[in-house]
């Protein structure tokens, strides 16, 4: 009945595991929405280009002038739904004559007080004469005829003050326009910016999109032009491909390692069940968490699978205890059960601290691990002993146990160990925390080179910080955006701002500009300047009616600048890039250099940040780094406190508690010491690995202390040794992975467990034998 019930539970769990809804959103790895970090991350997702497909066309040979533009247009036209929605090759023919004429009409709405001060200096008779002389010369040129209407409306060039503000719309720093296309300064590259409806994490559709794009290239682009494409989907696919290859390598190496261990230490049917335990635990834990969470993070399952490798240890101890038992398996089981339960409780305590994490994925991981550890405990103590008892046991062969005899004097062993700990602690101070989530991704050289090439060719248009001015409607958002722009331009450190504010201020600001402009022309100034124009113009050869339009324009109303008007004159692309309207709120974006000075401007306490958010990759990285560092120390402290508390309750003896902690302290110090000395950054994944080292290390400690004090047989040492080796075979193999995240876990576990095992097997006995008196030793 027991077997049937167990098998049924495992089978049902396996089915539930297969049908689990996995959520691949990276947001699960970030602190909850209420925190600044999560908000920063969500805002960065809305930054221009963050979710877009960037295509660079580079002409390889000396092709004729227009071919690059023609091929760009052809490729853009071929990039159609369902894979690509909006495809942009440039802002279009924005610099048409209508464009200039439009500015000549609307400039009073855009002209600022500072502009007026500059204009006022140019309203003397001499300055007007000079302006009209220039204008007369311009009339001689081919463009003179086309510009004459503009000259009549605005002979003194007031519109130029506004045209200068166009520099704030240059979203791609090194871009120039050619036939309305984005062209690099050397004329060799063209750019296509496309939107796709597929999520970056949607690997299946992302792969289809990339294949479709490659097919387009083959049919549309000649050999004389090379095309590079970059998007989040490429990163996703590269990572998935790398992980798939890694898994083959890791599983092969792990399987070989485990098989070797099986040959060396198990060689029985019961041994196979020991290794099946973690698989059953994984299925049941996954099924359990699916009951509690509708969508489970794929990261939880991935990490959880790694963490639950710990569950094999319980089974290993039960197996060796039963094998070593002579005649009384029940007694042996009872004897080993106590430290196993101790281990389970301390491990639960260690993983329990993840409940306090601000990261959803770590809280999920806590639930997952706790279900898994409880399951492992039950499986190891209830069905496994029955299975092991009923299978043919290989005779206990002392030769199979690699029993290491430590010949060094105990005092020297302890001194050497302490020296190593001190060195590791010292080197551990060099450890730095890396909050850049991108460093956890595999970035192949090809993509890295492509990123560098894009930055060299077009400037750093994908790495700017973004200021979001938010409001319930466009006008409110624009008013906030005006405030942002004023704040930025007041600061000397503000350069290279991309903002709509100078060209599209709020209607309130525009009205204020017009009122200021009209007030400026009151008190007879308009008539005075008009007369100067007539007088000075007459002496040059202009008719007295030549500038009637100017007088009318000064007196007449000026149309407001609207989003629609900007679209009409060819600025649709920039407007749509910098205004996000999700139907509920409107956000107006300002792009600024991602520098500490600019960040400080927005973090300054004397700046009213109401409805303004500042999102920056650098700031995000710093915040995450700090969160990881905080999490690390909090987790280490909380997990250690929890483990010490439980050890105290279980052992009720300080010395035993301290002895049990030796593998934990050794493992953690070695991990941070080696990583610090090698300059390997500590990341989000290492935090979880540290918990694993605590959980496993304390288990080794408990078993060894129990053995030393309560007379467990030699099988305990063997079980600890074999447990350590299975961990190294299983997780240490991750070090062979190409993927940074997997490699990172493998490295930290390998170092940590690699140090914890000898600490448990050598240092604890050495310390114990070195005169430590344990009060209940005789018990």
Give the interface with another protein as residue ranges (CB under 8 A).
65, 95-98, 100, 134, 137-148, 151-152, 176-179, 187, 541-543, 545-546
State the nearest-atom distance from the C-beta of 504 to another protein, in Å: 22
Q: Which two tokens stand for residue 275?
A: 């290794």
State the nearest-atom distance from the C-beta of 65 to another protein, in Å: 7
**CB of 141 or CB of 244, closer to another protein:** 141
d(CA 461, CA 629): 30
d(CA 37, CA 34): 9
State the nearest-atom distance from the C-beta of 453 to another protein, in Å: 22
State the nearest-atom distance from the C-beta of 92 to another protein, in Å: 12
Task: Name, in order, each residue with C-beta under 8 angstroms of 113's C-beta and a sequence gap of 6 or more.
Answer: 516
Task: Name, in order, each residue with C-beta under 8 angstroms of 212's C-beta and a sequence gap of 6 or more.
Answer: 83
**CB of 146 or CB of 416, closer to another protein:** 146
The phi and psi torsions of 88 (rounded to 5 degrees) equal -125, 130
State the nearest-atom distance from the C-beta of 677 to another protein, in Å: 55
State the nearest-atom distance from the C-beta of 140 to another protein, in Å: 5
Q: Which two tokens stand for residue 622?
A: 């710093």
**CB of 122 or CB of 148, closer to another protein:** 148
Write the CA distances from 18 to 12, 22, 298, 301, 471, integer angstroms.
Answer: 10, 10, 12, 12, 45
d(CA 624, CA 717): 41
State the nearest-atom distance from the C-beta of 186 to another protein, in Å: 11
Neighbours of 478 (CB within 10 A): 25
Q: Which two tokens stand for residue 628?
A: 């990881």
Exposed / middle / buried, residue 277 (Cβ in 10 Å: 0-12, 13-18, 19+): buried
**CB of 130 or CB of 626, closer to another protein:** 130
Find the helix or strand (DSSP H, E) in which 247 lies.
helix 232-261
Length of the chain, in residues? 779
**CB of 97 or CB of 519, closer to another protein:** 97
Q: Say which residue the tokens 């005779």 belong to.
A: 395
**CB of 65 or CB of 411, closer to another protein:** 65
d(CA 50, CA 497): 18
**CB of 156 or CB of 250, closer to another protein:** 156
Contact yes or no for 704/343 (Cβ under 8 A): no
State the nearest-atom distance from the C-beta of 542 to another protein, in Å: 6
Contact yes or no for 261/729 (Cβ under 8 A): yes
Task: Name, in order, each residue with C-beta under 8 angstroms of 445's C-beta and a sequence gap of 6 or more.
Answer: none
Write the CA distances from 595 to 243, 601, 604, 698, integer angstroms.
Answer: 34, 10, 14, 45
CA 611 from chain centre, in angstroms, equals 25
Q: Which two tokens stand for residue 714?
A: 């030699």
**CB of 99 or CB of 262, closer to another protein:** 99
Whole-angstrom Cα Rg for the chain? 36
**CB of 166 or CB of 774, closer to another protein:** 166
State the nearest-atom distance from the C-beta of 543 to another protein, in Å: 6
Task: Name, in order, each residue with C-beta under 8 angstroms of 539's C-beta and a sequence gap of 6 or more.
Answer: 129
State the nearest-atom distance from the C-beta of 25 to another protein, in Å: 44
Kindly give the interhelix angle for 311-324 and 383-390, rounded to the nearest 10 degrees: 40
State the nearest-atom distance from the C-beta of 119 to another protein, in Å: 22
Give the residue ranges of DSSP H helices in 308-395: 311-324, 329-352, 360-381, 383-390
**CB of 130 or CB of 769, closer to another protein:** 130
**CB of 152 or CB of 617, closer to another protein:** 152
Exposed / middle / buried, residue 582 (Cβ in 10 Å: 0-12, 13-18, 19+): exposed
Neighbours of 548 (CB within 10 A): 15
State the nearest-atom distance from the C-beta of 539 to another protein, in Å: 11
**CB of 418 or CB of 540, closer to another protein:** 540
State the nearest-atom distance from the C-beta of 108 to another protein, in Å: 23
State the nearest-atom distance from the C-beta of 529 to another protein, in Å: 18
State the nearest-atom distance from the C-beta of 68 to another protein, in Å: 11
| 204-229 burial code (b ≥16 CB/10 A, e <16) | eebbebbeebeebbeebbeeebebbb
- Partners of residue 225 on adjacent β-strands: 59
Contact yes or no for 242/739 (Cβ under 8 A): yes
**CB of 32 or CB of 98, closer to another protein:** 98
**CB of 569 or CB of 696, closer to another protein:** 569
State the nearest-atom distance from the C-beta of 114 to another protein, in Å: 25
**CB of 139 or CB of 629, closer to another protein:** 139
Asked if omega into 82 is within 30° of 0 (cis), the reply is: yes
**CB of 95 or CB of 507, closer to another protein:** 95
Q: Say which residue the tokens 């019930």 belong to.
A: 5
């Amino acid at each position: 009945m027991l077997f049937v019930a167990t098998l049924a539970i495992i089978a049902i769990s396996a089915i539930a595991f297969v049908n689990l809804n996995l959520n691949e959103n990276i947001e699960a790895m970030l602190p909850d929405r209420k925190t600044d970090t999560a908000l920063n991350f969500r805002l960065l997702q809305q930054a221009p280009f963050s979710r877009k497909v960037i295509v660079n066309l580079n002409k390889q040979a000396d092709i004729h002038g227009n071919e690059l533009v023609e091929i760009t247009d052809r490729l853009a036209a071929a990039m159609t739904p369902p894979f690509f929605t909006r495809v942009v090759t440039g802002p279009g023919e924005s610099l048409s004559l209508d464009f200039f004429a439009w500015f000549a009409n609307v400039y009073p709405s855009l002209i600022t007080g500072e502009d007026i001060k500059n204009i006022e200096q140019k309203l003397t008779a001499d300055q007007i004469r000079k302006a009209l002389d220039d204008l007369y010369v311009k009339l001689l040129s081919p463009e003179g005829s086309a510009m004459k209407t503009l000259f009549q409306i605005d002979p003194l060039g007031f519109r130029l003050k506004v045209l200068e503000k166009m520099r704030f719309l240059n979203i791609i720093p090194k871009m120039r326009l050619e036939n309305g296309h984005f062209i690099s300064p050397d004329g060799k590259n063209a750019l296509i910016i496309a939107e796709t409806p597929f999520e970056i994490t949607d690997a299946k559709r992302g792969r289809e999109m990339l294949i479709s794009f490659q097919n387009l290239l083959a049919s549309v682009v000649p050999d004389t032009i090379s095309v590079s494409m970059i998007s989040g989907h490429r990163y996703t696919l590269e990572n998935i491909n790398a992980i798939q290859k890694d898994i083959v390598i890791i599983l092969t190496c792990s399987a070989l390692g485990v098989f070797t261990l099986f040959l060396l230490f198990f060689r029985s049917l019961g041994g196979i069940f020991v290794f099946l335990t973690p698989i059953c635990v994984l299925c049941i834990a996954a099924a359990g968490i699916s009951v509690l969470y509708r969508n489970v993070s794929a990261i939880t399952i991935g990490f959880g699978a790694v963490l639950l490798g710990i569950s094999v240890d319980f089974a290993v101890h039960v197996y060796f205890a039963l094998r070593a038992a002579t005649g009384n398996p029940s007694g042996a089981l009872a004897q080993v059960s106590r430290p196993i339960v101790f281990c389970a409780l301390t491990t639960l305590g260690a993983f329990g601290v993840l409940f306090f994490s601000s990261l959803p994925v770590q809280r999920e991981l806590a639930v997952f691990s706790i279900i898994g550890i409880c399951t492992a405990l039950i499986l190891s103590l209830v069905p496994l002993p029955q299975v092991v008892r009923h299978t043919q046991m290989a005779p206990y062969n002392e030769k199979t146990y690699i029993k290491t005899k430590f010949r060094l004097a105990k005092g020297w062993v302890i001194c050497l160990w302490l020296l190593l700990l001190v060195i590791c602690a010292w080197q551990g101070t060099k450890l730095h925390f890396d909050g850049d989530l991108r460093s956890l991704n595999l970035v192949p050289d090809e993509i890295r080179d492509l990123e560098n090439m894009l930055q060299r060719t077009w400037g750093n248009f994908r790495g700017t910080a973004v200021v979001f001015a938010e409001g319930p409607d466009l006008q409110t958002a624009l008013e906030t955006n005006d405030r942002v722009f004023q704040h930025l331009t007041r600061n000397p450190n503000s350069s290279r701002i991309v903002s709509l504010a100078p060209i599209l201020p709020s209607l309130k600001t525009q009205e204020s500009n017009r009122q200021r402009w009209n007030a400026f022309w009151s008190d007879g100034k308009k008539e005075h300047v008009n007369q100067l124009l007539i007088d000075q113009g007459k002496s040059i050869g202009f008719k007295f009616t030549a500038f009637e339009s100017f007088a009318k324009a000064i007196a007449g109303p000026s149309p407001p600048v609207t989003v629609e008007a900007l679209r009409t004159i060819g600025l649709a692309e920039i407007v749509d890039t910098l205004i996000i309207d999700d139907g509920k709120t409107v956000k107006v974006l300002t792009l600024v250099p991602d520098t500490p000075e600019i960040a400080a401007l927005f973090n300054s306490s004397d700046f009213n940040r109401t409805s303004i958010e500042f999102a920056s990759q650098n700031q995000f990285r710093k915040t995450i780094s700090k969160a990881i560092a905080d999490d690390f120390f909090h987790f280490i402290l909380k997990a250690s406190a929890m483990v010490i508390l439980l050890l105290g309750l279980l052992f009720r003896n300080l010395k035993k508690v301290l002895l049990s902690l030796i593998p934990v302290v050794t493992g953690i110090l070695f991990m941070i010491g080696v990583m610090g000395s090698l300059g390997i950054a500590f990341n989000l994944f290492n935090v979880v690995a540290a918990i694993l080292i605590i959980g496993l290390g304390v288990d080794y400690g408990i078993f060894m202390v129990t053995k030393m004090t309560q007379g467990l047989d030699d099988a305990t040492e063997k079980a600890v040794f074999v447990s350590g080796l299975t961990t190294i075979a299983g997780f240490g193999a991750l070090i062979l992975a190409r993927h940074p995240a997997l490699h990172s876990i493998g490295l930290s576990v390998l170092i940590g467990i690699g140090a914890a095992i000898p600490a448990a097997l050598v240092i604890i006995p050495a310390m114990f034998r070195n005169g430590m008196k344990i009060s209940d030793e005789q018990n």
